[in-house]
Amino acid sequence: MSLNSESFQKCIWPACGATFDLAQTLVACPNCGNLLDICYDWDHLPVPKNLDYFEQFWSQRRNPQRFSGVWRFHELLPFADLEDCLTIGEGQTSLQQADRLAAEVGLPPGNLMLQYEGFNPSGSFKDNGMAAALTHASIQGAEFAACASTGNTSASLAMFAAVTGAVKAIVFVGSGKIAYGKLSQALDYGACTIQIDGDFDDAMQRVRQVCPELGIYLVNSVNPFRLEGQKTIMLRVLESLQWQPPDWIVVPGGNLGNSSSFGKIFGELKMLGLIDRIPRIAVINAEGASTLNHLYNQKNFRWQQGQFSTTKAQDYFDVMRKSNATANTVASAIEINFPVNLAKCLRALEITDGVVRDVTDEEILDHKAMIARHGFGCEPASGASLAGVRRLREEGLISDSDRVVCILTGHVLKDPNVTVGYHTDQAWREEQGIRQATFANPPVTVPNELEQIIAAINQSH
Ligand SMILES: *Cc1c(COP(=O)(O)O)cnc(C)c1O
Ligand SMILES: [Zn+2]
């Protein structure tokens, strides 16, 4: 098993720029503490001349790597030999043109598309990154892999471990909000599940201490290989759009791994001459976990070609920690106050001329219900993306000729409690600060009598 010799790790902070061999397992630059990228010496690698190069692999579905929605784009993330790349069939996702939903948010037919990453084997986009991180972990000979998780990273790690047997999974979850669909996955797939007394941010701090101590491979999105896998979400969007970039990519922001990897791949594609124009990225926070929105729109934090440093974010995080700030949103997948990829996300926002917004829990749940009413559905965090589209339409920043892609990050069945609460439970809604629940569709309760059942159906339309 081997790693590619034209690939290396590099500190994202230009003032440092230290490089490291791929055979080192790192989650930060040992010199300065900033995040790392996986970089490629493209001049010495076989780079496709056009993106339609990848269409030849559509007929190679019997090759597990070329069947994978991640590894069929191997030439753009060639850090390991293709036959060594781990796969469980991730990335068979779809882009749905959503015309009736478009009308709801003020876009004409044909201009709103939904990218369903919930169709991944474990039900969220995390499988894209896990395929890449665990490929590296297995080449490194890691016995254990761990993560802190709001739920989906742990579900993904647990599933990969169960299917491939490549590593044993250890997952850290907080004791507060974790969607039952996700927790049940970690338990059912047999992961060692450590539930700590704290929230995601606490679990993240602990797992970062534990991993080096015990020689455990860390698969959170501070792992630069994770983000290589997640680049392919954008490649599949382009594939579905016949390689024509849309105008906007709208994505919920939690730890900011997705937005970071989207910025990286668009920068790479432009530099390689594979696209002529870069879509704008809109990152949507939940109002109760809106550190990025605050730093970007109020504090004016910018990447500035790398004059920004992660340590500046750490200083701000320290202030937040002292004030005991905790995140709070019904969208548990993005209930994160200290996004680990902040610096990379700022870079992505610069590359893509991006914007950041935050939306309320009520907006998140209304738009989640709206998505399901007109399509395949998604979990709460994913609803933030459509809520963001509406906001940016109202502001006029998204114009009605713009083609918009919402990333639906997780499956509708991940968090049934929230969905049922929204539709049926007034008291629960009040607790969450939801006044209207515009799309609530409660069951009609009827006695077990034929005439009354018929009357109820007749009344319903
Ligand atoms: C992990 C996750 C997010 C947050 O993504 P980041 O890359 O951490 O910003 C959003 N939605 C769902 C469903 C997730 O599982
Ligand atoms: Zn460095």
What is the CATH number that goes with domain 94-122+226-419? Answer: 3.40.50.1100
The one-letter amino acid code at 34 reads N
Query: Is the beta carbon of 123 within 6 A of some atom in ligand 1?
Result: no
In sequence order, the 6+-apart residues with CB closer than 8 A to the CB of 66 are: 57, 60, 72
Pairing assessment for the beta strands 94-97 and 112-116 based on DSSP bridges: antiparallel
Sheet (strand 168-173) strand order: 192-195, 168-173, 144-149, 217-218
Beta strands in 263-371 (DSSP E): 280-286, 355-359
pLDDT recorded at residue 316: 84
Residue 346 near residue 301 (C-beta atoms within 8 A): yes
258 lines ligand 1 (CB under 6 A): yes
Tens of pLDDT along the chain (461 residues) come to 789 999 999 999 999 999 999 999 999 999 999 999 999 999 999 999 999 999 999 999 999 999 999 999 999 999 999 999 999 999 999 999 999 999 999 999 999 999 999 999 999 999 999 999 999 999 999 999 999 998 999 999 999 999 999 999 999 998 877 889 999 999 999 999 999 998 888 899 999 999 999 999 999 999 999 999 999 999 999 999 999 999 999 999 999 999 999 999 999 999 999 999 999 999 999 999 999 999 999 999 999 999 887 777 788 888 888 988 889 999 999 999 999 999 999 999 999 999 999 999 999 999 999 999 999 999 999 999 999 999 999 999 999 999 999 999 999 999 999 999 999 999 999 999 999 999 999 999 999 999 999 999 999 87
- How far is the C-alpha of 379 from the C-alpha of 381, rounded, in Å? 6
Choose the residue to mutate in 152, 173, 178, 264 for probing ligand 1, maximizing ligand atoms within 8 Å of C-beta: 152
Q: Phi and psi at residue 243, in whole multiples of 5°?
A: 70, 15
Give buried/exposed letters for 293-310 (b at 16+ CB in 10 A, else e). bebbeeeebebeebebbb
CA-nearest of 329, 4, 299 to 135 is 4
Q: What are phi and psi of 178, to 5 degrees?
A: -140, 130
Structure tokens at 320: 């937040």
Supply angle C-alpha 367, 371, 374, rounded to 5: 135
CB proximity list for 395: less than 8 A, separation 6 or greater: none
Distance, in Å, from the CA atom of 307 to the CA atom of 347, rounded to the nearest integer, reads 10
Beta strand extents in 258-410 (DSSP E only) = 280-286, 355-359, 404-408
Kindly report the three-state secondary structure assignment for every residue of 371-401.
HHHCCCCCCHHHHHHHHHHHHHHHCCCCCCC
Which pLDDT score, from 0 to 100, does residue 199 have? 86
In terms of phi and psi (left: phi > 0; alpha: psi -120 to 50; beta: otherwise), the region of 217 is beta
User: Which residue puts its alpha carbon closest to atom 13 of ligand 1?
Assistant: 410
List the 7-11 sheet strands across, edge first.
19-20, 7-11, 36-40
Q: Among 35, 120, 250, 255, which is best to mutate for testing ligand 1, by the most ligand atoms less than 8 A from CB?
A: 255
Tokens for 66? 């070329």
Among 212, 276, 211, CA closest to 238: 276
Looking at residue 308, its pLDDT comes to: 80
User: CA 131 to CA 7: how far, in whole Å?
Assistant: 18
Q: Give Cα separations from 188 to 68, 158, 180, 209, 412 (angstroms).
A: 24, 9, 12, 26, 19
pLDDT at 312: 76
Query: Ligand 2 mean position to 252 CA, how many Å?
Result: 28
pLDDT of res. 319: 87
- For a mutational test of ligand 1's pocket, the pick from 159, 223, 230, 258, i.e. the residue with the most ligand atoms closer than 8 A to its C-beta, is 258
Which residues are within 5 Å of ligand 2 (an ion), measured at CB?
11, 16, 18, 29, 31-32, 34
Question: Residue 272's pLDDT is what?
Answer: 98
> What are the structural domain ranges in the chain?
94-122+226-419
- Ligand closest to Cα of 34 equals 2
Tokens representing 211 are 């991993």
